[in-house]
Amino acid sequence: MEDILLKIKGIKAKAGSSEIFKRTLPKPNGLNTVAFLEKAVDKMGISSSEIMKIAQDLYESGYISYPRTESTMYADDFEFDDVLEELT
């Protein structure tokens, strides 16, 4: 870290303009167990058994829904905002 600080210490910088914008993303599709494991193993680089242990711990702590499911659909009336508000 110190070598990076030494390299940038003498650099003069000028702030430019910035814009604030809002972007709305579509709701994510639910993942079945196999798709969840494939994505998690690819992104995290740990074994599927370790990922399922982490998912189970998160579920038991109330942070996520049950991780072992074959459903990839949310009900049309599922209230994502309510869930996210409860989690925060």
Convert the pLDDT of each residue in 32-55 to its tens digit: 888 888 988 999 888 999 998 998
Tens of pLDDT, residue by residue over 7-29, are 777 777 777 778 888 888 887 77
Residue 11: CB atoms within 10 A of its CB come to 6
At 3, list the tokens.
């070598």
pTM flag (> 0.75): no
Active-site residue set: 66
At 25, list the tokens.
């993303």
Mean of all residue pLDDT scores within the chain:
82
Alpha-carbon span 81 to 59, nearest angstrom: 19
Residue 19's pLDDT is what? 85
What residue ranges define each of the domains in the chain, with the CATH number in brackets? Answer: 26-87 (1.10.290.10)
Residue 72's pLDDT is what? 61
Quick check: 78 pLDDT over 80?
Answer: yes
Alpha-carbon span 61 to 4, nearest angstrom: 39
Alpha-carbon span 56 to 61, nearest angstrom: 9
